[in-house]
Amino acid sequence: MPAARDPGHVALLISFALLAAALVGAVFLVRGQQESQRWVAHTLEVEEQLSSVLSSVQQAETGQRGYMITRNLDYLEPYVRGTQSIDGELRELHRLVADSPLQATRATALDKLIRDRIARLGKFVGMIRRGDDAAVASGIRSNVGLNQMRAIRALVDEMRTHEADQLDARSASAAWQANLLLLWLVITAIGVAVVAFFVTRTAMRRTHAAMLARDAAELAHAHLLAETAQRELAEAQVRELGKMESIGQLTGGIAHDFNNMLAIVIGSLDMAKRRIDKDPTKAAQSIDNAMQGAERAAQLTSRLLAFARRQPLAPGALDANKLVAGMSELLRRTIGETIRFETVVAGGLWPAFIDAGQLENALVNLCVNARDAMPEGGRLTIETANTHLDDAYAATHAEVVPGQYVMVSVTDTGTGMPEDVIERAFDPFFSTKEVGKGTGLGLSQVYGFVKQSGGHVKIYSELGVGTIVKLYLPRHFGEEDRRPVPAPEAELPRGRGEIILVVEDEDQVRVMSVDALRDLGYVVIHASGPLQALALLDEHTSIDLLFTDIVMPDMTGRALAEQVQAKLPHVPVLYTTGYTRNAIVHNGMLDHDVDFLAKPFGIGQLAVKVRQVLDGRDG
């Protein structure tokens, strides 16, 4: 007789099959949805380009008409601008509709109508300049120009109608794809939940059998060996379940927080769009709300990078005593008047090798947690000391290297934590606070930052007594960095007409950077990639700064900078990126010879950093 199939194995196979089906189905559906959304964006681009083309023609006609009426050459400026821009506008329109034979044919017809209209406008300008009023009057009475513009507008309306129909169809397709994806994931989740129920029931039965086997194992050494193997298998399963629980908690926390922030951004921008004409003040408030939501999302990304040990750090020699003293007033205001705050600093403290800004953030996080643990008031103490972690300590603590460290501790007299909470305190999105009163990322950010810096974190806590969090920071062997910290700018530093070459392959980011730099008083030339940037150097050899993304097609920003500096050795380089594991960040540390601005950045950050690089200051 064939051996009976193990129900647990069958359940696991079904579970894996469901997960695989969910993954494959989700990939296909997400790709389909992305394609639909891409076409929606393409349709909007075509509609916008049609408006731009028509605007250029109308601008040229307005200039010609003004000149005809006034005979003043100043009135020809709109005509000149319109005729100069029309070629580029038409080329862009042809490019955008190349995927649609019908629209491409209409674009060709529109191209001819527009060029005929521009040519006729040019003839009128010539006749006006010669003073041939009779020819001008005859041309007007013929209504040729009027009919040309009617034909142009009619064809533009026809193309817009076609794109509007396409937009409706593509929007419906995108919505259908989204609903199908949601349905697919719900069905798969239900299937996995059912399988998990049977797996759990099977595991409980096996646990009971293992207990019986353990009792019987005392009778023989062979039974003991068998029981040991079963116990090891059970422990492996428990570890795997723990990993899955951590992953589920992490992804759930990310989805929850990001969805909340995206709801703020999308909703506020939608309200701003509706209010922009009727109530600019309320529209501005909505835009401010969207900015706050986007900044919170950026902070969440930064915290996740800190936990994953992927944030770019710029460590240097630091006097922890000075840092604590400088933060004292800020921390007193943060924790409130019901908590007594004190510092105990060690004499002869070694310099630590650490990123000062990230250490400040870590101390603020720890002090906020301590404050929340003392709702009725208490005492909070920050202490510094020199310490040594020996081989015995390192052997019992993962990722600890024996040696000398600078210890900075935060002690509170709060409620304390039980052992199970201490074990999970550094897990991302784990929090014992009420919903809405904590993200669960504070301690995980501190942990990731200190570990990435080569240090160590330890929590000591007792219920009803209080908690101590000790940060062990690597000691710096060498002279202390005594460079002064730049004072905050009262106003945004502005440019003095310097020329900046901006290289960014993401169009919207490039447009934002170029506009911001021009508003700040800089002369900006820009390129959508490294090859175009190198071509621009032949025409612009007097640039003062290269501002480049790092991750781009064809070559990295670092490779581009090397080629630029080979031609123009005096030109400094400012790098930017949203992903830190690349050509200028190694083992989480920025290369010592680079200037870096992390994405996303605001105009204020951009203004300060560009001015620092141009002035030769350390950022």
Q: What is the pLDDT of residues 267-312, one digit of tens each?
A: 667 566 666 777 777 667 767 766 765 655 555 555 455 444 455 5
pLDDT at 368: 87
Class of domain 316-474: alpha beta
Portion of the chain with pLDDT greater than 90, in percent? 16
SS3 253: helix
Residues of the chain with CATH 3.30.565.10: 316-474
pLDDT at 221: 80
pLDDT at 530: 93
Instruction: Please give the angle made by the CA atoms of 47, 50 and 52, to the nearest 5 degrees.
Output: 110
Segment holding 113, helix H or strand E: helix 101-130
Comparing CA positions, the residue from 566, 603, 569, 599 lying closest to residue 582 is: 599
Distance (Å, rounded) from C-alpha 610 to C-alpha 603?
10
Bridge partners, 408 (sequence order): 384, 471
**Average pLDDT score over the chain:** 78
Least confident span in 79-93, 496-510, 582-596: 582-596
| CATH architecture of the region 499-615 | 3-Layer(aba) Sandwich (3.40)
263 φ/ψ angles, rounded to the nearest 5 degrees: -60, -40
How is domain 20-181 classified at the CATH fold level? Answer: Four Helix Bundle (Hemerythrin (Met), subunit A) (1.20.120)
47 φ/ψ angles, rounded to the nearest 5 degrees: -60, -40
Which residue intervals of 319-379 are DSSP H helices?
A: 320-335, 356-372
Query: Does residue 34 contact residue 74 with C-beta atoms inside 8 Å?
Result: no
* Residue that has been written with the tokens 């695989």 in this structure: 20
* Strand positions, DSSP E, 507-612: 523-527, 545-549, 573-577, 585-586, 589-590, 595-598
pLDDT digits (tens, 9 = 90+) for 523-551: 999 999 999 999 998 888 889 999 999 88
Distance (Å, rounded) from C-alpha 615 to C-alpha 607?
12
Extract long-range pairs of 416-422: CB within 8 Å, 24+ residues apart: 416/373, 416/461, 416/462, 416/463, 416/464, 416/465, 416/466, 416/467, 417/459, 417/461, 417/463, 417/467, 418/463, 422/459, 422/461
pLDDT at 199: 65
How does residue 429 score in pLDDT terms, banded at 50, 70 and 90?
low
pLDDT at 484: 46
Residues of the chain with CATH 1.20.120: 20-181
429, 431, 435, 436: CA torsion to nearest 10: -70
pLDDT at 334: 79
Comparing CA positions, the residue from 509, 529, 528, 505 lying closest to residue 517 is: 509
- The more confident residue out of 582 and 166 is 166
Quote the pTM value.
Answer: 0.40
Least confident span in 134-138, 410-414, 415-419: 134-138
Segment holding 507, helix H or strand E: helix 507-519
